[in-house]
Amino acid sequence: MSENKRRDELEVVGVEEVRKSGLDVNKLIDKLVKATAAEFTTYYYYTILRMHLTGLEGEGLKEIAEDARLEDRLHFELMSQRVYELGGELPRDMRQVADVSACADPYLPENWKDPKTILKVLLEAEQCAIRTWNEVCEMTLGKDPRTYDLAQRILQEEIEHEAWFLELLYGRPSGHFRRSYPGEGPLSKKGSK
């Protein structure tokens, strides 16, 4: 194969098979870029949110916010690779990342000194992530096993994150006990694939 062969002329069986399954690959890439961008923006904003969990009450919440923050970075890394395998790309300009994100920016709330306001922002972000990854799972089920596998692993962790914040806000039990180490990502860390 000529080294000069253009990227769009290459035979990519891994993409062809997805196309043959009836999936619109461009639509999938678009969805994945938006969902992946949301993971990155969330990781960024969670850094600020976690930083503002201060005082006696905030201290107990830092670790759990940190787990959710670091796991979002893992989600970004896990799905970025898939975007490129499929022939897509992430925005080359960092400024566009938040603009294309599938979820609203989880800004630091005005009255952040009440940690509950921060927990509510975290909860909403997790709920958006669940909807987004669930849509990816529905799109790819039975059609693109690799994207499905990655998306369902992310989805499982997002469901855990939602349950953690629901428990902290409303006392609804989540079965949570601390990760083995911060941001473990039991299903999304490298080596778990």
Q: What does DSSP assign to residue 102?
A: S
Span 40-79, contacts to Fe ion by CB under 5 A: 68, 72, 75
Closest approach, Cβ 142 to Fe ion, in A, equals: 24
Residue closer to Fe ion by CB (options 31, 161) is 161
Supply the minimum distance, in Å, between the C-beta of residue 99 and Fe ion.
19
Cα dihedral angle (179, 180, 185, 191), rounded to 10 degrees? -170
Smallest distance from Fe ion to CB 157, Å: 6
The candidate with the shortest Cα–Cα distance to 129, out of 29, 27, 46, 26, is 46
Closest Cα to residue 62, out of 47, 50, 49, 78?
50
15 vs 153, which CB is nearer to Fe ion?
153
The 8-class DSSP code of residue 3 comes to T
* Site for Fe ion, residues 146 to 175, rule: CB under 5 A: 158, 161
Q: Please tell me the distance from the alpha carbon of residue 47 to that of residue 190, in angstroms, as a whole number.
A: 22
Residue 160 CB, nearest approach to Fe ion (Å): 8
Integer distance in angstroms from the first to the last C-alpha of the chain?
Answer: 30
Count, residues near Fe ion per rule CB under 5 A: 8
Nearer to Fe ion, 139 or 151 (CB): 151
Nearer to Fe ion, 35 or 86 (CB): 35
CB nearer to Fe ion: give 15 or 37: 37
Instruction: Select 69 or 140, whichever has its Cβ closest to Fe ion.
Output: 69
Collapsed DSSP state (helix, strand, coil) of residue 127: helix
Minimum gap (Å) between residue 151 Cβ and Fe ion = 11
Nearest to 37 by CA among 94, 85, 119: 94
Count of CB atoms within 10 A of residue 54's CB? 14
What x/- string results for residues 106 through 145 when contact with Fe ion is judged by CB under 5 A? --------------------x--x----------------
Nearest CA to 110 out of 120, 101, 102 is that of 120
Residues that bind Fe ion (CB under 5 A): 39, 68, 72, 75, 126, 129, 158, 161
